[in-house]
Amino acid sequence: MVRDLLDTKRNPFYRQADRALFVAKRDGRPVGRIAAIENRAHNAFQQDRVGFFGFFEAVDDQDVARALFRAAEGWLNARGLTSIRGPMNPSTNHDCGLLVEGFDQHPQFLTTWNPPYYETLIRDSQFVAAKDLLGYWLPYGESSYRMPPRMEALARRAAAKVNLSFRDLEPSRFWDEVAICWEVYNSAWEKNWGFVPMSRDEFTYMAKSLKPLLIPQFAFVAEIDGVPAGFMLSTPDFNLIFKTIRNGRLFPFGLLKILLGKGRLRTGRVIALGIKNEYRTGSILPLFMHEAARRAIAYGSPGAEASWVLEENVAMRQPIEALGGRVYRRWRIFERSIG
């Protein structure tokens, strides 16, 4: 998957971006790596001159970290960029952020994990915190969980006001459904910090890799008066299976474990919940959360992670917390000036 994210020939992301890869070696042994990324789509949309770093890994050695950041900064500086921000792998539309809280929690599928000392390496390389991203645990299936009566009442009142219905994504019309989700995605996230619109090709490329991983009950569209207004996408936690594939290989037995184990997975991660701007009222989001909880309980899920959510996104955080969601992991994005 990492190789795919770095593939400048096949991945449509690189039609508006470029990257350089650096490996640090000591006595011929690799001790660190980093990618420097110029995201021209980001800078055009945000009217910015930011460069990015990502795919950072290093031994616990400050000299190694500084050497890696110097290499990335030099490459970005040569392109006239004025600051360096990350980790982005390779953008906010993919894995991003450095884990700074929640190391005792199982790392959910498609989220970043790193040793705790990474934060020290980055801070001692003169980076400062730019934004925090939150991971919520949604305890829908825990034995002690009860749907808050206030949320039940709010959902009933909202449903009476809006002609809203939910439907599963139809596998037979998958690519038409992807086109709907792409339109919603770029509308719903456009005001988020660090957002970059995804081209249709880029969104389709990502959807192709996710298609075999989805469970229909947790990939659904909301329609208002028959018009698509939003979507929610969750994936099972395949990391629980990957942990059992000790050699890290798909063949000959790894792929079989994934295919046989998918139906037994009951926990997962909400990776996207978006509502078009024109439909974003105070009542729609609680209905979404209520529907997600109802489906999770019916499926027998003990719970799920919702990530990531910008710490400042109060409109999203309030309904999650009203339904009993609690912050249990935190990622951080860092930045510093170049030069």
Q: What value does the mean pLDDT take over residues 155-173?
A: 85
Cβ proximity of 164 and 223 under 8 Å: yes
Question: Does residue 226 share a domain with residue 124?
Answer: no
Question: Does residue 248 share a domain with residue 166?
Answer: yes
Question: Does residue 128 share a domain with residue 207?
Answer: no
Question: Does residue 157 share a domain with residue 287?
Answer: yes
Q: What is the CA radius of gyration of the chain?
A: 21
Q: What pLDDT was estimated at residue 30?
A: 98
Distance CA(13)–CA(94), nearest Å, equals: 11
Does residue 5 belong to any structural domain of this protein?
Answer: no
Helices (H) and strands (E) in the chain, counts: 11, 14
pLDDT tens-digit map of 224-260: 888 999 999 999 999 999 999 988 888 888 989 988 8
Confidence of residue 282 (pLDDT cuts 50, 70, 90): low
pLDDT tens-digit map of 3-55: 899 999 999 999 999 999 999 999 999 999 999 999 999 999 999 999 999 99
Q: What pLDDT was estimated at residue 81?
A: 98
Cβ proximity of 306 and 274 under 8 Å: no
Question: Does residue 147 share a domain with residue 124?
Answer: no
- Of 134, 162, 187, which residue constitutes the final position of a domain? 134
The candidate with the shortest Cα–Cα distance to 114, out of 61, 57, 169, is 57
pTM for this structure?
0.92
Task: Kindly tell me if the per-residue pLDDT of 292 is higher than 90.
Answer: no
Q: What pLDDT was estimated at residue 18?
A: 98
**Measured torsion, CA atoms of residues 314, 320, 323, 328, in degrees rounded to the nearest 10:** -110
Question: Does residue 145 share a domain with residue 62?
Answer: no
The two tokens of residue 221 are 């569209």
Q: What value does the mean pLDDT take over residues 151-161?
A: 78
Does residue 250 belong to any structural domain of this protein?
Answer: yes
Cβ proximity of 338 and 115 under 8 Å: no
Does residue 339 belong to any structural domain of this protein?
Answer: no
Q: What value does the mean pLDDT take over residues 178-192?
A: 90
- Residue 105 CB neighbour total at 10 angstroms: 15
- Of 99, 134, 169, which residue constitutes the final position of a domain? 134
Question: What residues make up the domain containing 40?
Answer: 16-134
Question: Does residue 87 share a domain with residue 221?
Answer: no
Confidence of residue 87 (pLDDT cuts 50, 70, 90): very high
Cβ proximity of 291 and 132 under 8 Å: no
Does residue 330 belong to any structural domain of this protein?
Answer: no
- Of 134, 162, 189, which residue constitutes the final position of a domain? 134
Question: Does residue 224 share a domain with residue 285?
Answer: yes
Q: Domain holding 128: CATH number?
A: 3.40.630.30
Question: Does residue 84 share a domain with residue 162?
Answer: no
Distance CA(165)–CA(176), nearest Å, equals: 19
Average pLDDT over the chain, rounded to an integer = 91
Question: Does residue 275 share a domain with residue 205?
Answer: yes
Question: Does residue 114 share a domain with residue 53?
Answer: yes
Place of tokens 């009951």: 266
| Axis crossing angle, helix 149-161 with helix 314-322, rounded to the nearest 10 | 120
Question: Does residue 147 share a domain with residue 114?
Answer: no
Confidence of residue 218 (pLDDT cuts 50, 70, 90): confident
| 328-298-160 Cα angle (round to 5) | 90
Does residue 7 belong to any structural domain of this protein?
Answer: no
Q: What pLDDT was estimated at residue 192?
A: 86
The tally of domains found in the chain comes to 2
